[in-house]
Amino acid sequence: MVDIASGETMQITKDRAGLSFNNPVWFDDTTIGYMHNGTLYQFPLDGEASAVFTPSVDILSVAFRAPSLLTFIASVYPNSTLAESRKLKQSAADRRDSAQVYTNLWVRHWDKWMTLEKPSVFAIQTDRTEDEWTVGAETNLLQEMPLCEDPLVRWSVEDYTVDPQGQRVAFVVRRPGNDMAWSTNVDIYITPTNLSQPQLLTSNVNGTASNPVFSQDGQYLAWLQMEKPGYEADINRIYIYDQVTGTTTFLARDWDLSPQFLLWSANGTHIFAIVPDQGDDALYSITISNGHRLRLTDQGSVSALRRAGNDLALLFSNQDKCSDVHILDPDTRKVRQLTGINHDALQSVYLGPAEDFWFTGACNDRVHGWLIKPLAFDPARKYPLALIIHGGPQQANSHAFGYSQWNPNMYASAGFVTAQINFHGSLGYGQNFTDSIQHNWGSYPLEDLMTGLDYLLATNPYIDPARMVAMGASFGGYMANWINAKSHRFSALVSHDGMFSVPMFWYTTEELWFPEHEFGGLPYDLAVRPGYSRFDPENFAANFSTPTLFVHGANDFRLPVEQSLAPFTLLRRKGISAKLVYFPNENHWISSVGNSIRWFTEVLGWIAHFTNTTLPYKLPD
């Protein structure tokens, strides 16, 4: 916790390996709540923590509205309370067999197999006397949703929000149906908090809705709305629903950027939006009356946003500065840094600043990238280069501090010039630029990457063209495989949870809408099949010759492990150096600390070996 006036911080929970504290929430001005080991606790700032509520099943996304409303998401069996669901789950675990039977899609999503339990939003009225809480019976606010009780229809609540008065809940849910695996129809519903009476607000649009947020007076609900069915990277439009008139209007519809997060101003005259904008996740203010837009932040990225009176509290970072709390005055645009949590810990860590570069890429478009010079840089020396290729593909390398395996300074600190290029398909450069990657996975992005690399070699003579590596995850892993099929200019490659067989991707992934949009339809349709085959690395397997490190998690259901096992088998059968690092307890990402350390050990060792680079430190065994 941080005092906004003084900047003083206070640690509320104990910091010890194995302990997990999450979902902080304010009960009042002097009492904080949080979840720990399945229990909701209260912590008076002048007292000791005590339990408030231990639900029968795990809960998440806890919210509280004074004086007495508690809301959360819990997964329950059809037509069951929390307690009944706990018993049903135990009965399922005690069965003599473990079979799970499916007759329709989805059968699994992200890293979990679907069960009969469905995530739902619950509301509970509480009674609080001093430090004692009485928790009433829960109300399932989705109980009256269409097909709520159909055990064969799996679905998921994506998000929800409660109005400041505690009277209504707006929630985001994939419209229940048999087409959920190939539809991006995600809707906004609104319901009272005392009973399930869901009202659909998005019946006239079949794209993805997200990020509902109430105005402070509770009259208006804003959200982000994609309008193109089947396209998960369509531009986000801002919709506003007036609960008094029952009408929906649009805000800043002429904007060519795609907001990712919304927050109302305290007086309701503006909406603040976090927006990808030429490599930054920038903060904008949008005037409700006329849609006028004003960028409030300079270079860098905002990753979280809350109101702090009339000011804004935000997490802000750069590629060489980790996230800290800042306070921004939206009227003057003045920003002051409030915290420096990791300042001391990072004093001995090399964090090189990111330098912008622009070049002319595919379609004669201007393409943007970042360059970070290595530790102890000497322009008279020659350095290896690490090209980091982002995933998505409709994402972007941003001017933000990364906490995953793809923080570019991890490679700069190991002695590599590190480059990132926001190729065609990236966010933040206009929707046409983002859309252009459809049907062009192997053309425009590869041209951008190779042209950008030529530009860097021509303008930075300290880069050694004989000691270059390319690496990436997801689409970046696909691109590493595609490079292996199309280029021989890299000493080594790293493909993390990448794609090798494009047609097989459709047959094994869980979100069918994605390949159907990107490659033009169904792969078994002979008229469509060329769209899958044109940029399929497997079709060019005979060309693979670059040593490659493959990394994959067993619980990655977006791109199952066979997508890495196959090219690993190919290279080893051809007698080419390859390594497969398999994590049986990870999904599309690497999340545990121990596995992250092992990931870096394997990756840094691999790229150092094939570029004949001596690392400035000893890797762990």
Residues labelled catalytic: 474, 556, 588
d(CA 83, CA 103) in angstroms, rounded, equals 28
242/337 Cα distance (integer angstroms):
36
Omega before 515 within 30 of 0, i.e. cis: no
* C-alpha distances in Å from residue 334, one per residue of 10, 307, 325, 331, 401: 25, 15, 14, 8, 22
Residues in Cβ contact with 401 at an 8 Å cutoff, skipping those fewer than 6 apart:
317, 318, 319, 320, 321, 322, 323, 407
What's the DSSP call for residue 55? -
Is the CB of residue 259 less than 8 Å from the CB of residue 236? yes
Contact 166, 189 (CB under 8 A): no
**CA gap 393, 427 in Å, rounded:** 9
3-class DSSP assignment, residue 405:
coil
For 564, other C-beta atoms within 10 Å of its C-beta total: 28
CB 212 within 8 A of CB 224: no
**CA dihedral angle for residue 445, residue 450, residue 452, residue 457, rounded to 10 degrees:** 170
Whether 104 contacts 112, CB under 8 Å: no
Residue whose C-alpha is closest to residue 298's, from 325, 323, 317: 317
DSSP 152: T
Q: What is the signed CA dihedral for 602, 607, 610, 614, rounded to 10 degrees?
A: -90
Q: Name the nearest CA neighbour of 536 among 578, 574, 567.
A: 567
Instruction: Show the beta-strand stretches assigned E in 546-591.
Output: 548-553, 578-583
Q: What is residue 530's three-state secondary structure?
A: helix
Residues 6+ apart with CB under 8 A from 370: 279, 319, 354, 355, 356, 357, 397, 399, 408, 419, 420
Nearest to 237, CA basis, from 264, 203, 211, 216: 211
Query: Which residue do the tokens 């700069």 mark?
Result: 412
Alpha-carbon gap, residue 201 to 619, rounded angstroms: 54
- Cβ neighbours of 28 (radius 10 Å): 13
Q: How far is CA 71 from CA 94, 122, 149, 377, 583, in A?
A: 31, 5, 21, 53, 36
CA nearest neighbour of 560 among 474, 471, 445: 474
Bond preceding residue 393 cis, omega within 30 of 0: yes
Using the Cα atoms of residue 552, residue 496, residue 578 and residue 414 in order, give the sign of their dihedral.
negative
